[in-house]
Amino acid sequence: MNNISKKHHYLPVFYLKGFTNDSGRLKIYNVEKKIFVQNGKDFFPTSYFYEENSNTIFSENGDSDFVESSYSDFDNETAKIITKINNSNYTENYNIHDGDMPRLNHFVSLIYWRLPHRKQELKNIVDNNELINLGLSVQNSDGTINQKSSEKLKNHPEFLKSFKFFNSLADSVRGIHCRTPYTIFNRHQELPFICSDNPVIFEKDLPNVFEDDYIFPLSGTRIFVKSNRKEPFDYYLWLLVDVLIYKLAVKYVSCTHTEYIEMLENHFQKYNMTILEFKIEVFKRLK
């Protein structure tokens, strides 16, 4: 067997490091069991938010982790940008330029589609479209489409692993005419750091990733927002966003303080809303 990677993080380790405490670790809350893992033990970012072989392509001709390597290339470039943002003093445009913003937007798409719970959504897209409609095709030597081979490729059991990466690339093309501005805001310093395994917040449950407004925490101190909002977040809006980060988690939430999860749950209960209604309320405040 080829010497390839197996431990594939759907939330990159560099990204998770932005939500750690002073010791470089984080606590993990299991939202299904409603408890902190090992009574609130601190874990290194490498310990969670990954799947084994999620980007490994298995075939009779040999196994390959080229998809994981492709993610790593983009992650490494994005890590440089986010590091500059996190280390900035707020007064110098976060040490980045306008050309960095589309790359961050692309990173949002990469994160969105590589999350484990998006597999069914991706499968529905593939099942309901011809390969050519997905931006791909298998062609004969004369340039015509080989329909049989195209269908065989689309129906290959490993196709989704590569398509989720390709779909993120396509998002950048689909959104080329979108002119909604991207803005970075500073997080309120009194709040604990929190991150979930479903970190991209859209108003809709099935959004157009390349068109719709979203909220995406870059770290425990910075947030990347696609909307027309220019005013900074106040303490209360930050609290509402943190409630969503927690309530939208599929399995795990990382947090630097155990008491904060209970506080967020209590705050959510006060509204007597569904999660969708809560999202709508938060996005109203972004306008």
Residue 93 included in any domain? yes
Q: Is the pLDDT of residue 2 over 80?
A: no
Residues 6+ apart with CB under 8 A from 90: 186
Of 94-103, 112-121, 237-246, 257-266, minimum mean pLDDT range: 94-103
Residue 188, judged by CB atoms within 10 A of its CB (0-12, 13-18, 19+), counts as middle
Residue 196 included in any domain? yes
Q: How confident is the model at residue 91 (pLDDT cuts 50, 70, 90)?
A: low
Q: How confident is the model at residue 59 (pLDDT cuts 50, 70, 90)?
A: confident
Q: How confident is the model at residue 257 (pLDDT cuts 50, 70, 90)?
A: very high
The count of structural domains within the chain is 1
Residue 211 included in any domain? yes
How many Å separate Cα 42 from the centre of its chain? Answer: 23
Residue 173 included in any domain? no
Amino acid 8: pLDDT: 97
Residue 144 included in any domain? no
- Residues 237 and 55: their CA atoms lie apart, in Å, by 36
- Residues spanned by the domain of 56: 7-113+180-284
Residue 251 included in any domain? yes
Q: How confident is the model at residue 105 (pLDDT cuts 50, 70, 90)?
A: very high
Q: How many percent of the chain have pLDDT more than 90?
A: 75
Amino acid 106: pLDDT: 92
Which of the listed ranges 86-90, 92-96, 206-210 does the model predict with the highest average pLDDT?
Answer: 206-210
The three-class DSSP label of residue 65 is coil
Q: Is the pLDDT of residue 177 over 90?
A: no
Residue 33 included in any domain? yes
Amino acid 41: pLDDT: 97
Q: What is the 3-state secondary structure (H, E, C) of 195-244?
A: EECCCCEECCCCCCCCCCCEEEECCCCEEEEECCCCCCCCHHHHHHHHHH
Residue 121 included in any domain? no
Amino acid 82: pLDDT: 95
Amino acid 1: pLDDT: 46
What backbone phi and psi angles, to 5 degrees, belong to 73?
Answer: -60, -45
| Residues 68-95: b if buried by 16+ CB within 10 A, e if exposed | bebbbebbeebbebbeebbebeeeeebe
Nearest to 68, CA basis, from 8, 28, 18, 125: 8
Q: Mind listing the pLDDT tens digit for each residue in 8-38?
A: 999 999 999 999 999 999 999 999 999 999 9
Chain mean pLDDT for the chain: 92
Q: Mind listing the pLDDT tens digit for each residue in 118-155?
A: 999 999 999 999 999 988 989 999 989 999 999 999 99
Give the residue with greater pLDDT, 177 vs 214: 214
